[in-house]
Structure 1
């Protein structure tokens, strides 16, 4: 396995670790509605940071985006909006299925859809099934799904042992939302593929290869921002017990703390895709769709490891922890299989 591929896999791991930890600062927010908290964090991650980073990278911010036709930008924006719909469905999936079942189904579906549909749409599926390296990467996807399934089972055992249930368990509604989440969340993978002309234009302007994907986030995350912020503001305006005015009327010290914690959560959410871009830049072009598989499987891996470090599994007993450990090992094996496949 080449050093470039190894570094690509490691950067995907760093990004996934940030994704697994991003909600920790949000848990510190007090006396705010979820909608206000999500909107403040979202403004940081989907608007402020992508625009700021792009302004620092590009020699002429507006000229760069003016150089693209609507036919280039619109698919990138719409796939970003698709990803934004997946974000909303993700939260609702947890509500009706619980964390373990929700994550397992949603992540499993988005891993498959985001990884395999990209080469199919691009007419490159023969790379997967027609070459030894392609078949090995495909094997890595299958092994990753097995790892996700094992980690999901560990979570179910933990929840059963600790008596944890979804707040409004509804299998029928939850499964529908999980499938929708899995499909729509893959929009980020599709958006990155559609944004390749933007990456090439950034490279032509002298932007470092590690950063060429970042200017496209202005458009991708702009699509996600429209969906997420629209959802939050509509609920804040229409739901009786929600009020953004009331949320911002809390005591000044608490208001400042809430804004800072929400902004920190937004920063960590953005950093997952900052490092995703770094990892994506190190993956060979013919296998760049594997970035999504690495990101999603590492997200599950890091979520389990963070739970262990925070001692969330201590009261669950030995069996759930053993199953979780097995699942994490399987995901690590999957990443190595994919890495070896890309090196062939």
Structure 2
């Protein structure tokens, strides 16, 4: 496995770790509605940081974006909005299926769709079977999917052992939302593929290859922001108790703490895609679709490890923890198989 591929896998792991940790600051927010907390964090992750980073990177911020026609920007924006719809459905999936089953189905679907749909639409999928490297890479994707399933099963065992139930368990509704979440969340993978002309334009400006994808986040995250913030504002407007007014009527110290924790959560959420861009830059062009598989499988891996570190599995018993460890090891094996396939 060459150094570039190893670095790519490493940076995807760092990004996934950031994603697995992003909700920890949100848990410190008190006496705020979910919509207000999510909106403040979202302003940081979807608008402030993408714009600020791009403004620093680009020699002429406005000229860069004005150089692209609607035929380039609109698909990138719409795929970003598609990803935003997946984000909204993600939370609803957890509500009706519970964390473990919801994550397993949603992440499993988005891993497969986001990873394999791009080469399929580009007519490259069949060609992958004609080379040893392609076959090895696809085998790694299959192993990763098995690893996600095992970790999710460990979560189900944990929830059963600890008596944790979904807020409003509804199998039919939950499965429908999980499928929708899985499909729509893959929009980020499609957006990155559609944004390749933007990446090339950034490279032509002399921007370091590690950063060429970051200016496209202004458009991608913009699409996601429209969906997420729109959803939050509609829900806040529909509440008769005007909870947004109550949220900002808290004591000054609590208000400052809530804002800071929400902004920190939003920063961690953005950093997952910051390092995703670094990992993507180190993946060979013919295997660029694998970035999504690495990100999503590492997200499940890091989520399990973070849960262990925070003692969330303390009272679950030995069996769920053993199954979790087997699932994590399976994902690590998958990453190595994918790496060997890309290096071959």
TM-score (norm 1): 0.99
Counterpart check, 1:197 vs 2:212: no
Distance (Å, rounded) in 2 between the aligned partners of 1:117 and 1:78: 17
Distance (Å, rounded) in 2 between the aligned partners of 1:28 and 1:307: 16
Distance (Å, rounded) in 2 between the aligned partners of 1:241 and 1:152: 38
Write the deviation string for residues 174-196 of structure 1: whole angstroms up to 9, x where unpaired: 00000000000000000000000
Distance (Å, rounded) in 2 between the aligned partners of 1:306 and 1:150: 17
Distance (Å, rounded) in 2 between the aligned partners of 1:239 and 1:322: 44
Q: Where in structure 2 are the equivalents of 1:168-317 lying within 5 Å?
A: 168-317=168-317
Distance (Å, rounded) in 1 between the aligned partners of 2:204 and 2:6: 26
Q: Where in structure 2 are the equivalents of 1:86-235 lying within 5 Å?
A: 86-235=86-235
SS of alignment partner, residue 168 of structure 2: coil
Give the corresponding residue for 2:79. Answer: 79
Distance (Å, rounded) in 1 between the aligned partners of 2:117 and 2:250: 47
Distance (Å, rounded) in 1 between the aligned partners of 2:292 and 2:259: 31
Deviates more, 1:68-77 or 1:233-242: 233-242
SS of alignment partner, residue 314 of structure 1: coil
Asked if 2 retains the 8 angstrom alpha-carbon contact of 1:154 and 1:323, the reply is yes
SS of alignment partner, residue 126 of structure 1: helix
What's the CA shift for 1:159?
Answer: 0.4
Distance (Å, rounded) in 1 between the aligned partners of 2:227 and 2:130: 39
What's the CA shift for 1:241?
Answer: 4.0
SS of alignment partner, residue 316 of structure 1: coil
Counterpart check, 1:2 vs 2:2: yes
Q: Which runs of 5+ in 2 are unaligned?
A: none
Distance (Å, rounded) in 2 between the aligned partners of 1:194 and 1:123: 15
Asked if 2 retains the 8 angstrom alpha-carbon contact of 1:235 and 1:242, the reply is no
Deviates more, 1:194-203 or 1:129-138: 129-138
Distance (Å, rounded) in 1 between the aligned partners of 2:247 and 2:315: 35
Asked if 2 retains the 8 angstrom alpha-carbon contact of 1:301 and 1:328, the reply is yes
Give the corresponding residue for 1:324. Answer: 324
| RMSD over equivalenced CA pairs, Å | 0.7
Give the corresponding residue for 1:63. Answer: 63
Deviates more, 1:327-336 or 1:238-247: 238-247
Aligned residues: 344
Give the corresponding residue for 2:338. Answer: 338
CA separation of 1:343/1:285 partners in 2, compared to 1, >3 Å: closer, same or farther?
same
Distance (Å, rounded) in 1 between the aligned partners of 2:244 and 2:320: 41
What's the CA shift for 1:242?
Answer: 4.8
Distance (Å, rounded) in 2 between the aligned partners of 1:243 and 1:67: 43
SS of alignment partner, residue 159 of structure 2: helix
SS of alignment partner, residue 31 of structure 2: coil
CA separation of 1:128/1:241 partners in 2, compared to 1, >3 Å: closer, same or farther?
farther
What's the CA shift for 1:223?
Answer: 0.1
Segments ≥4 residues shifted beyond 2 Å: 239-243
Asked if 2 retains the 8 angstrom alpha-carbon contact of 1:104 and 1:149, the reply is yes
Distance (Å, rounded) in 1 between the aligned partners of 2:5 and 2:127: 18
TM-score (norm 2): 0.99
Distance (Å, rounded) in 1 between the aligned partners of 2:16 and 2:236: 30
What's the CA shift for 1:126?
Answer: 2.6
What's the CA shift for 1:311?
Answer: 1.0
